[in-house]
Amino acid sequence: MARFVQFIERPISRSRDQQWEVKYPYADTPLRHWLSEQGMTPGPGQKGFIFRGPGERIDRIMEEGRLQFPDIQWRRKPVLKSTSNNQGMVPVDPVLLKRYIDRLTVQRYSPNTISTYRNAFIKFLAGIAPRHPNELTRDDILEFMLALQQEGRLSASYQNQMINAIKFWYEKVECQPRQQYELPRPRKAEPLPKVISTEEVASMIRRTTNLKHRCLIMFAYGAGLRNAELLALNPTHIDSKRMVIRVERGKGNKDREVPLPDQLLPLLREYYRAYQPRTYLFEGQQKGTPYSSKSLQLVIAKAAQKAGICRRVTPHMLRHSYATHLLESGADIRYIQDLLGHKSIRTTEIYTHIARTRKPPSPLDSLSLE
Q: Distance between terminal CA atoms of the chain?
A: 66
Per the CB < 8 A criterion, the answer to whether 351 and 193 are in contact is yes
226 catalytically annotated:
yes
241 catalytically annotated:
no
Measuring CA to CA, how many Å separate 82 from each of 6, 26, 277? 18, 25, 43
User: Where does the chain show beta strands of DSSP type E?
Assistant: 4-10, 19-23, 41-42, 49-52, 73-77, 238-239, 244-247, 256-259
319, 320, 322, 325: the active-site residue: 319
Distance between CA atoms of residues 85 and 1, nearest Å: 34
118, 167, 237, 251: the active-site residue: 251
- Buried residues in 316-330 as b, exposed as e (16+ CB within 10 A): bbbbbbbbbbbbbee
24, 170, 291, 351: the active-site residue: 351
32, 226, 302, 306: the active-site residue: 226
Per the CB < 8 A criterion, the answer to whether 287 and 368 are in contact is no
CB proximity list for 323: less than 8 A, separation 6 or greater: 193, 224, 336, 339, 340, 348, 351
Among candidate residues 268, 266, 223, the one with its CA nearest the CA of residue 247: 223
246, β-bridge pairs: 257
117 catalytically annotated:
no
Per the CB < 8 A criterion, the answer to whether 18 and 9 are in contact is yes
Give the SS3 label for residue 316: helix
Chain centre distance of CA 217: 24
334 catalytically annotated:
no
Among candidate residues 13, 18, 98, 29, the one with its CA nearest the CA of residue 69: 29
Q: Would you list the DSSP string of 129-159?
A: TTS-GGG--HHHHHHHHHHHHHHT---HHHH
Distance between CA atoms of residues 343 and 207, nearest Å: 36
CB proximity list for 95: less than 8 A, separation 6 or greater: none
Catalytic residues: 226, 251, 316, 319, 342, 351
